Chain A
């Protein structure tokens, strides 16, 4: 398993060789010391990240995000519902995406935009341990 971290502070240069998932153009990139180099298509299966950790915010509160790559979304969603009760965007469904997401502010967790969002770092860690 490879767990990569996002960049909480953009002004801090990451370590050479660090990997990130560019959510804008959906590519995997590697830091070569000067810039992010797109590596999608050149990585082996062993190098491919499985869980990508990011930091986001919902209405001003920091959320701890996980992007699962090539993982069973439906099972993950059901597991989160079992462990942490209802999703913060109440119409969230991994099989049938809804137009009206019906968002509850500052909920314990969300599933939106190809990510799982957790308010508490402990929940994020539990998710990573369960699915890695």
Chain B
């Protein structure tokens, strides 16, 4: 296999943000008319996808976790609505 760059796989959180469910992130945008649901959002690049999936199923059972191809840079999009689960997630993965 040919490598074009070193594989930098690690547990990394990108774009961590909180939405209050009332504020529209881009006022005036013709597409995003409604504010997103209240909760915590992020992208997650995990070192161990299976391990991350299992941990989320166990510790954040109500979170929405979606694995995406992302143009060849696979990552997870995470939406957590429960405050306790969000705190647990932050403590575990945010380093």
Residues of A within 8 A of B (CB): 56-63, 89, 99-103, 105-106, 110, 112-113, 117, 119
Contact = CB atoms under 8 A, between A and B. Distances in A.
Interface string B1-14: 11111111100000
Contacts of A56: 71-72
Contact of B71 (A89, A99, A113): A113
A59 B74 contact: yes
Interface residues of B, number: 18
B67 A103 contact: yes
A101 B49 CA distance: 13
Contacts of A100: 66-68
B67 A61 contact: no
Given A99-B66, A113-B71, 5 more contacts: A62-B1, A63-B72, A103-B49, A105-B49, A117-B72
Contacts of B67: 100-103
Contacts of B7: 59-61
Contacts of B71: 56, 113
Contact of A61 (B2, B68, B69): B2
A58 B74 contact: yes
